Structure 1
């Protein structure tokens, strides 16, 4: 089976996972800007990875807008974020990014990445500063665990990536 791994990464965490998956599956690796639907249709298994951005998976439209051309393929999407995996959050990401029809053809995985403010572009830094300001002005009892976690890592890079996190994707590709 021919496998391709495509990714879009702002801070490097998604790219790291994409590289590990590529190595484990002997797949071809492309950054999303270097690939199109004509390339994707040449593969049996398509794996797309993107970081989460306000619950949206960056770059995933390459898959969703072309799902009709990919229905006969094994399609996997993974997203990375700084928060620990929680069922309710994963369901929210899945429902926001994929219609019920698309969910029939796309297997979704969440992989914990990290956070590095210094690697963000100017616009994303501005948005994160606004978010930090908004969170800091909440009352202590009103903060969610994710908000408390975000404030604790805002000023220092954190990397939660673990190579073993890709094992579920590798197993899915090899056994389904």
Structure 2
């Protein structure tokens, strides 16, 4: 089985997971911006990783826009976000990024990444400043919201190699 891992990473957390996954599966690895759809057609299993931004998976359109060409492939997607895993969030991610046909064909995994304000580009910094402003105006912050505010000055990294285990197990279980 020929496997490729492709990713789009703004602050390095997705890239770290992509590298671990590629290493474990002895797969080829490419950053999404350096890849054409024609190259993907040479693989049996395509693993795509992208960061979450308001439940949208960064760069996922390389998969969704080309789904008709890829639907005979094994497609695995991992989304990476700063929040702890919650099943209802995974369903929201599925519904926000994939149509029903794609949902039936694409296996989705969530991996906790991190947050480093200093690695964001200008547009993302502006958006995150709006979130920060909103959070600071709230009278009762949840522990997660307090942690988010703290992360603006103290970057957090929740990436752990063990977080890829379910994805690796799933890919290794695929039979032809």
Q: The TM-score by the shorter chain falls in which range?
A: over 0.9
Report how far residue 147 of structure 1 moved: 2.5
- In 2, the alpha carbon distance for the partners of 1:130 and 1:146 equals 17
TM-score for both structures, normalised by structure 1? 0.95
Q: Which runs of 4+ in 1 moved over 4 A?
A: none
Partner of 2:80: 80
Partner of 1:147: 145
Give the alignment's Cα RMSD to 1 decimal.
1.0
Q: Write out aligned runs for 1:86-97 (5 A).
A: 86-97=86-97
Q: Residue 36 and residue 145 in structure 1: after superposition, are their counterparts in 2 closer, same or farther (change >3 A)?
A: farther
Q: In structure 2, which of residues 152, 162, 165 is the aligned counterpart of residue 164 of structure 1?
A: 162
Q: Deviations over 1:124-173 (max 9, x none)?
A: 11111111001111221xx4554333113221111100001111111111
Structure 2 portions without partners, runs of 5+: none
Partner of 1:54: 54
Partner of 1:71: 71
- In 2, the alpha carbon distance for the partners of 1:148 and 1:75 equals 36
- Are positions 1:117 and 2:121 aligned together? no
What SS does the aligned partner of 1:11 have? Answer: coil
- In 2, the alpha carbon distance for the partners of 1:76 and 1:114 equals 21
- In 2, the alpha carbon distance for the partners of 1:60 and 1:82 equals 18
- In 1, the alpha carbon distance for the partners of 2:150 and 2:118 equals 15
Q: Deviations over 1:67-101 (max 9, x none)?
A: 11111111000010000000111111111011111
Report how far residue 36 of structure 1 moved: 1.5
